[in-house]
A and B are shown apart, each in its own frame.
Chain A
Amino acid sequence: MTGSVHRRQQRAAWIFAAPVLGIIALVFVLPTLLALALSVTDYSIYALADWSNLRFVGFGNFADLLATPLFWRALRNTAIFAGLGVPMAIGTSLATALLLHDATVRWKPVWRVALFAPYVTGIVATAVVWRFVLNTRFGLLNWALAQVGVAPVDWLGDPRWSIPAILLFVTWKVFGYNMIVFTAALAAVPGELMEAARLDGAGAWTRFRHVTLPAIGPTLLLAAVMSVAGFLQLFAEPYVMTLGGPSQSTVTVLYFMFDEGFKWWNLGQASAVAFVLFVLILGVTLVQTRIGRRYEWL
Chain B
Amino acid sequence: MAVTRRRLRTVAMNLAVAALALVTLAPFAWMVTVSFMPRYESSRYPPPIWPSRWTWENYYELLVRRVIDGAVFDYRIVPALGNSLLIATVSTLLGLLLTVPAGYAFAKLRFRGRERLLQLLVAALVVPGQVSMLPLFLLFRELRLVNSYAGVILPGLAGIFAILFVRQATLSIPDEMIDAARLDGAGEMRIFRTIVLPLLAPVTVTLALFLFLGSWNDFLWPLIVLADQHRYTLPVAVAAISREHAADGELMMAAAVVTTLPVLLLFLALQRYYIGGLLGGSVKG
Contacts and interface: CB of A to CB of B under 8 A. Distances in A.
Interface residues of A, number: 94
Given A13-B111, A99-B17, A123-B219, A20 B27 contact: no
Most buried by A among B34, B246, B275: B275
Interface in A267-289: 267, 270-271, 274-275, 277-278, 281-282, 285
Contacts of A81: none
Output the residue of B155, B213, B234, B260 with the most chain A CB within 10 A: B260
Interface stretch (B41-49, B54-62, B68-76, B199-207): B41-49
Interface stretch (A63-71, A129-137, A158-166, A208-216): A129-137
A84 interface: no
Tell me the interface secondary structure of chain A in the complex.
helix
A229 B126 CA distance: 9
Interface residues of B, number: 97
Interface of A: 5-6, 8-17, 19-21, 23-24, 26-32, 34-35, 38, 48, 96, 99-100, 102, 104-106, 108-109, 111-118, 120-126, 128-133, 137-140, 143, 172, 176-177, 180-181, 183-184, 187-188, 229, 232-233, 235-236, 239-240, 254, 257-258, 261-262, 267, 270-271, 274-275, 277-278, 281-282, 285
14 contacts: A9-B109, A28-B158, A29-B124, A31-B134, A99-B13, A102-B13, A106-B14, A113-B271, A115-B24, A122-B234, A124-B235, A129-B256, A140-B26, A275-B131
Interface of B: 6, 9-10, 13-14, 16-18, 20-21, 24-28, 30-31, 34, 42-47, 98-99, 101-102, 104-106, 109-112, 114, 117, 121, 124, 126-128, 130-139, 154-155, 157-160, 163, 182, 187-189, 192, 213, 216-217, 219-220, 224, 234-236, 238-239, 242, 246, 249, 252-253, 255-256, 259-260, 263-264, 267-268, 271, 274-275, 278-280, 282-283, 285
Given A140-B30, A176-B24, A184-B279, 10 more contacts: A5-B182, A8-B188, A16-B109, A29-B124, A34-B138, A96-B20, A121-B263, A128-B238, A240-B239, A282-B126
